[in-house]
Amino acid sequence: MSGRVVETEAYPPGDASGHAYRGRTASNQTLFLDRGFAYVYFIYGTSYMLNVTAEEPGVGAGVLLRAIEPLQGINLMKCFRKTDKLRDLARGPGRLAAALQIDKRLDGVDLCAEGPLWLGTAVRETAHILTTVRIGITREVRRRLRFFEADSPFVSGRSTTA
C-alpha cells in the first residue's frame, strides 16, 4: 500500500498542545528520537495517530500525518476501512492509520530505512500549499501549523481560512 501525503500538522518543541510538552515519559519517548522516526499513539478509544519525528535526538517534536491520497493497495485499504468510498479511505488522521493498519507495533520505526513503513520523496513538484490553524486541539490554538494541498479532495476538515 502507498499514498501521497496531502495534509499535515506541526507540533514543534515547547508547543503546549504537543505530547512532548510536559517532558519525556514512557509513552511519548519515541517523539524524542532523531528525525524521521514514527511516533504512534492511540486516542479517544477509537483512533491511532501517526507522527513523524522532526527534531534532533532528545528534542520532542513531530509532524502529524492527517491525510493521504491513496495510490497503491486501494482494495486492501477499503477492506481495512470497511468502506468503498475512495475519498474517505485516509481523509483524517485516524482514518489514515486505519487504512494503513498502523498501530503501536510501528511506534519507533525508522521511516527513512527499509521496513514495514517508510517515507519517500515525491517526484511531483510541490502543489499549492495552504496553512490554517490546527484541528481538534485546545491549546496554542492560534498558531497556523496545519499544512495541506489546496486542490486535493483528500484533505480533511474545512479548507476555508487560508
Partner DNA sequence: AAGAAGATTCGCT
Partner DNA sequence: GCGAATCTTCTTA
Binding site for DNA (CB under 7 A): 9, 11, 17-20, 22, 25-28, 31, 39, 41-47, 49, 51, 62, 64, 81, 83, 88, 92-96, 98, 134-139, 156
Closest approach of DNA to the CB of residue 136, in Å: 2
List the beta bridge partners of residue 63.
10, 52
Closest approach of DNA to the CB of residue 49, in Å: 5
Nearest residue (CB) to DNA, 103 versus 114: 103
The CA dihedral of 85, 89, 92, 94, to the nearest 10 degrees, is 130
**114 Cβ contact list (under 8 Å, min separation 6):** none
Nearest residue (CB) to DNA, 123 versus 142: 142
Task: State whether residue 33 is helix, strand or coil.
Answer: coil
Nearest residue (CB) to DNA, 4 versus 78: 78
Nearest residue (CB) to DNA, 82 versus 124: 82
DSSP conformation letters of 129-161: EEEEPPSS-SSSTT---EEEETT-TT--S----
Closest approach of DNA to the CB of residue 72, in Å: 21
d(CA 143, CA 15): 10
Closest approach of DNA to the CB of residue 68, in Å: 11
Closest approach of DNA to the CB of residue 105, in Å: 13
Nearest residue (CB) to DNA, 53 versus 149: 53
Cell digits for 69?
Answer: 491520497
Cell digits for 56?
Answer: 534532533
List the beta bridge partners of residue 67.
7, 91
